[in-house]
Amino acid sequence: MRDRILHILRNLGILSEVTFHTLRGLQCGKNVHIYRSLIDLGPEGRRRDMVEIGDNTTISFATILTHDASARIFTGKVVTGPVKIGMNCFIGYGSIILPGVTIGDNCIVGAGSVVSNDVPPGTVAVGVPARRLCTLEEFLKKIENRK
């Protein structure tokens, strides 16, 4: 019932996306921007330790999963794992972050990527599954050279 009320308040524009997720148990730093993203806080309900997002991070229309029930029919088990996203990160449109993943500080995850393994700090990762494209420094130099 509580989540239903929060959903209504968010959809009416009364609650911001960050406030909505924080009230549901998300741990996030300052200056975090979340745009129409699904953040799964675990199959057992609200757990304050399942998703952590660092300062100055933007998440755009992405999905963050903390549990995977794909093998449940065969094993009877659901795999769970916390997700940690560092400071100064950008998670691109339509990306999916799978359970147990840590994305280091100063990272970019390209649009549509599926992140199934940890992303080291200062990395640009893209693709399905997400792989290292270059360092953040290399990426910024490429952008600077386009001007």
Count of CB atoms situated within 10 Å of the CB of 67: 19
Radius of gyration of the chain (CA): 16
CA angle 75, 77, 81 (to 5 degrees): 135
7 is catalytic: no
Catalytic residue chosen out of the listed positions 7, 21, 33, 67: 67
DSSP result, 60-74: ES-EE-SEE-TTHHH
How far apart (Å, rounded) are the C-alpha atoms in residues 136 and 30?
22
Task: Point out the residues that are catalytic.
Answer: 67
